[in-house]
Amino acid sequence: MTIRFLAIVGLAGMSFAPSPTAVEEFAKINQQAHAANTAGDKQAYLSAALKMEELLNGAPNAVETVAKAYAAVGDVPHALAELSRFANMGQTDEALREDKNRRFSILQGLPQYRSILERFAANRTAVSRAERAFALSDSGLVAEDIDYDAQSKSFLVTSVLEKKIVRVALDGTCSRFVDSPSHWPMLALKIDAKRRLAWATETAIDGFTAVSKADWGRSAVLCFNLDSGALLHRLEGPAHAAFGDMVLDSNGNPIVSDGDGGGLYRVTGGRLEEINRRDFISPQTPAMLPDGKRVFVPDYLRGIGIEDLESGQVTWLGTESRAEHALNGVDGLYFDGGALLATQNGTSPERVVRIRLDGGLSRVVSEEIIERATPTLGDPTHGVIVGDSFWYIANSGWSNLDEHGDWKAGSKPTPALVMRFRLGRTPVG
């Protein structure tokens, strides 16, 4: 205490601003890039693009933006290198088929560029290693999250548009479990089978016409009796939060992510406490590590972080080696042995993957595509590991909604699918 006090006294008169959060840094760099672009300052735009690539831990979208910036300043070798890296991450850019904006006109005709375009085409080819388990009987749900109750041998699925949780039989037949108490879209869902609880979130999604404008930006964590559906607890989140995903820790406490505000929260002792608001921009579905002390947190923009729940320290999966793997755009994330199963609806193309990790669970060793670019994948959302299989929601319906949550002109509801990928190990239970 004395040493700390002396240090503070010695620095009296000096002003220290807190380091910006990831959300603040992201906004700042975006402003710099916009200003540079408006002014036509290509070098300044490149500088901003490189800063963004670093902030986002080499995410594919940032890598491609850097490639465009290098091309704009006439740096052909670096533009090709970044585009090649983008392709190595399994990504593609549909706009480059014609490239009417001629963003890479300086590369046209080069054999290296033609080779990259061929790799983009290969990355668009369909991969399907899962099987269709069933279609949900209610096509208007816009299905979001899913979990499994072994006792009743049924799934629970949250609905965005119908604002409820449905119980789903193994043939896809849906029946009502509970409605949102606030009449908001229902998003996250986790079952605590030991305590016979169902945890969920309801979120008044900002801008949705199906939600009262007075409620926009509100979220709550809900706890139901798994057998009766009775509402046991409701914990309102902070203003402008969007509670979209969760995981349960070893004690059955929900860890909830705020995809809009960048926060990570935990429910303990009937209270909602903030555990991180520094490192994430848009955190999605967390996944607990086996030690129960750390949690994988997929950030939609920054990749997959590993948060130490005791120290609050965050490290980023696989970034030290600059491994060429797309770890962004993850909506659902699930730990299975030495691997992560991920639904990625923010990559191009969207996909479901198995990511194998090293022994320390800190680096990516390899990835395996489970499903990609199939006619029925649509926007995959979440999944659940049951026994020897990973069951996940495909064709959720999100891709048919506009920014206000209304059906796009000419689109119509189609049944969401639950796909099954056999993990190739001994069944459990």
Q: Does 427 score more than 70 pLDDT?
A: no
Q: Does residue 10 have a pLDDT over 70?
A: no
- Three-state SS for 267? strand
What lies within 8 Å, CB to CB, of 49 at 6+ separation is: 33, 62, 65, 66, 68, 69
Tally of CB atoms within 10 A around 326: 26
Contact 107, 79 (CB under 8 A): yes
Q: Please determine, for residue 6, whether its predicted confidence score (pLDDT) is greater than 90.
A: no
Answer yes or no: is pLDDT of 215 > 60.
yes
Q: Which two tokens stand for residue 216?
A: 């926009």
pLDDT at 102: 79
pLDDT at 201 (0 to 100)? 98
| pLDDT value, residue 268 | 92
**Confidence at 374, pLDDT banded by 50, 70, 90:** very high
120-136 pLDDT tens trace:
999 999 999 999 999 99
Helix/strand/coil for 353: strand
- Any idea which residue has 């904006």 for tokens? 101
pLDDT above 50 for 13: no
Whether 407 shows a pLDDT value over 70: the answer reads yes
pLDDT at res. 11: 37
For 55-102, the pLDDT digits (tens) are: 999 999 999 999 999 999 999 999 999 999 999 999 999 888 766 557
Q: In what order do the strands lie in the sheet with 330-336?
A: 127-128, 364-372, 351-357, 339-344, 330-336
Q: Are 150 and 142 in contact (CB under 8 A)?
A: no
Instruction: Return the HEC string of 281-337.
Output: CCECCCEECCCCCEEEEEECCCEEEEEECCCCCEEECCCCCCCCCCCCCEEEEEEEC
Whether the ω angle into residue 77 lies within 30 degrees of 0, i.e. cis, is: no
Helix (H, G, I), strand (E, B) or coil at 234: strand
Mean pLDDT confidence for 236-258: 96
User: Is the distance from CB of 371 to CB of 351 less than 8 angstroms?
Assistant: yes
Judged on CB neighbours under 10 Å (0-12, 13-18, 19+), 308 is middle
Name all domains of the chain by residue range, CATH numbers in brackets.
22-96+106-123 (1.25.40), 128-422 (2.130.10.10)
Q: How confident is the model at residue 412 (pLDDT cuts 50, 70, 90)?
A: confident
Residue with tokens 């949780």: 165
185 pLDDT more than 90: yes
Where do we find the tokens 């043939």? 171
Alpha-carbon span 48 to 30, nearest angstrom? 8
Burial class for 49, CB neighbours closer than 10 Å (0-12, 13-18, 19+): buried
CA dihedral for 94, 98, 102, 104, sign (positive or negative): positive
Q: What is the CA radius of gyration of the chain?
A: 23
Q: Give the model's pLDDT for residue 12.
A: 39
Confidence of residue 322 (pLDDT cuts 50, 70, 90): low
With 80 as the cut, is the pLDDT of residue 194 above it? yes
Residues 6+ apart with CB under 8 A from 50: 66, 69
Angle between helices 22-39 and 42-55 (to 10 degrees): 160
Q: For 144-162, how does the pLDDT look when each residue is reduced to its tens digit (9 = 90+)?
A: 999 999 999 999 999 999 9
DSSP state letter for 163: T
What's the confidence (pLDDT) of residue 8?
Answer: 33
